Structure 1
C-alpha cells in the first residue's frame, strides 16, 4: 500500500510541535509552575523546555533522532506519571491531557524506533 503522507514529513511536523511545546515552557513558565511536582519549579520548566527544543530540532534536522525519540518518550512518561496520573480521572480536561501525553509518548517511541 502506498503511503499517503511521507514519514519524514510527519516527523518534521511532530518536531515542530515538540519544539513549540519547548517554547511554551519559557513563555508561560509562570502559569505552568504550579504543576511542577518538585522544588525549584521554574528551573525544571526551563530545563525541560531546552530538552523539548533540542528534541524538536533533532527531529527536524534528522540528526540524533533515535536518542532524542527515546529520551523524549522517557520525559513524557515521567510527566504522565508525576503530573497527569494523580488527577487523570477527576474530570474530562485532565483525562484528555493524560491521553494526549500517552499518544505523544507513543509517537516519540515510534520516531525513536525508526530514527538513526
Structure 2
C-alpha cells in the first residue's frame, strides 16, 4: 500500500506544480478568470500560482503534508465557489467541468493530508 500511496502522492503533487507554473506563464489568461469584484487580479494570479507550486513541492518532499493538503483543499474549494460556480450557473460548460475538477481535487487533497498525517 505504501508504494501505491506514494505513486498517488506524486501523481497529485506534480500537476499542482505545473498548474502553479501555468499561473506565471499565462498570467493574462488567468487574470480574466479572477472575479471583477476582487481588486488586484495579477497579484492573486501570482499568489495562487506560488501557493500551488509550494504545495506541490511540499507534498513531493513530504513536509507538512497534512497542513499543506488541507490548505490546498480550501483554496481549491474557494476557486470552485467564487470562480467556477457563477460561470457554471450561467451555463458555461467549461466552468462546470473546472468546478467539478476543483471539487474532486479538493477531496483528494483532504484524503492525501489525512493519509500522510503521521508519515
Give the TM-score taking structure 2 as reference length: 0.89
- Residues 12-63 of structure 1: CA deviation (Å, up to 9, x unaligned): 1110000100000100011110111211001111111111001000111111
5+ residue gaps, structure 1: none
Structure 2: gaps (5+ residues): none
What does residue range 1-116 of structure 1 map to in structure 2 within 5 Å? 6-37=4-35, 38-89=38-89, 90-116=91-117
1:53-83 per-residue CA deviation (whole Å, 9 max, x = no partner) reads: 0100011111110011000001001101100
Where has structure 1 moved over 2 Å in runs of 4 or more? none
| In structure 2, C-alpha distance between the alignment counterparts of 1:27 and 1:108, rounded to whole Å | 24
The Cα RMSD (Å) is 1.2
Aligned length: 113
Distance 1:51 1:106 in 2: 18
2: CA distance, partners of 1:93 / 1:35: 12
SS at match of 1:35: coil
Question: How far did 1:110 drift?
Answer: 0.6
Provide TM-score, normalisation by structure 1. 0.92
